[in-house]
Amino acid sequence: MGLFGGGSKTTTSQMTRPDYIQNMINSLTNQVNNTSNGSYVNQQYAGLNQTQQDALNALINSDQLNKLSGQLISGGQDGLNTLNSAYSQIQSLANDGINADKINNLAGQLYDGNSVQAAIDATNYGTKQNLAKNQLTNIAQQTMQDGAGGSAARMAKDNARTAALSQMQNDASNLTNEAYNNAVNQANSILSGNRQNQFNALGALAQNGAQQAGLAGVGANMANQANLNALGAGNIMQQNTQNSLNNDYQNAMYKQNYDWGQIQNMLNAASVLNGAQGMTTTSKTSGGGSGMLGGAMSGAAAGSAFGPWGALAGGVIGAAASS
């Protein structure tokens, strides 16, 4: 057959489809006609539930942790003050040692003059009794035996009385000195013991203060942990907010392109239907055959009723039918 055809012959040809093809086309047409565009459904984001939100708020506040931290830091400061006070007192005690004035002052308080005097009186009484009952009596007897004169007896008695007086003075001095020395030794012992006790007490106080001051470090660590808790919880909440924003942005972008996608889907379906329906054509030629070009043009004209894809499909089918 020629490209343009020729002669005066008029031919009418009708292309038919197999039933199973036509049935498929009819089914597809019904599906397209019955399909609605629908509406875009937003993607949902769960976010944080109330329990999680409450837990994060509690973590941010860290009330108990901050309260305990404050108490420990305050207690640590008290301990530090105690430690400083103990060290100050230890230094003062070290600089203020035991001296003679302190010993004498305390010895004067410890020295019991009444007791010493009572001891002196008791000793003197014994000396006087010995003088009267023994020495003077013996002198008198000895004088009578020797036949000595009165002057010799008086001299012997005076010597005995002088010796007794000297003895009482020595006894009194010895008792007094012994009592005072005992008071001095006792004072020195007391002051030394007190001093050592003070050192021991202040040392224990300093140790307790140091231990208590260490609580400040524990409290500071707790305060730092509370800050870390707040930071971690804040990061979680920020990430949750960002996730929600990302979800909103994604929904907005999908929704913006949804209508265009629906339109494109309908265009694609329409193009398929137009092409399939355009396969059925009626071609008329005058003066002989219309040729391939004439058939294509006739098929395209018939298929154009179904759109550009129908025209293309109709042209192809028309050309084939003319051959």
What pTM value is reported for the model? 0.43
Tell me which DSSP letter residue 98 carries.
-
- How far is the C-alpha of 114 from the C-alpha of 176, rounded, in Å? 11
Provide the Cα torsion 84, 88, 94, 98; round to 10°. -130
> Which among 320, 323, 274, 318 is positioned nearest to 296, based on CA atoms?
318
Can you give the pLDDT at residue 146?
56
Residue 240: pLDDT over 70: yes
Residue with tokens 């409450």: 54
In percent, how much of the chain has pLDDT > 70? 64
Tell me which DSSP letter residue 278 carries.
T
Which H or E run contains 287?
A: strand 282-289
Lowest-confidence segment of 124-128, 167-171, 299-303 by average pLDDT:
299-303
Can you give the pLDDT at residue 307?
44
Cβ proximity of 183 and 33 under 8 Å: no
Cβ proximity of 262 and 37 under 8 Å: yes
**232 three-state secondary structure:** helix
**Residue range 125-132: average pLDDT?**
80
pLDDT digits (tens, 9 = 90+) for 157-213: 777 788 888 888 988 999 999 999 998 998 888 888 888 888 888 888 888 888 888
Between CA 26 and CA 31, with CA 29 as vertex, the angle to 5 degrees is: 110
Residue 236 token pair: 């979680």
Can you give the pLDDT at residue 300?
43
Cβ proximity of 128 and 169 under 8 Å: no
Instruction: Identify the band that residue 319 occupies on the pLDDT scale cut at 50, 70 and 90.
Output: very low
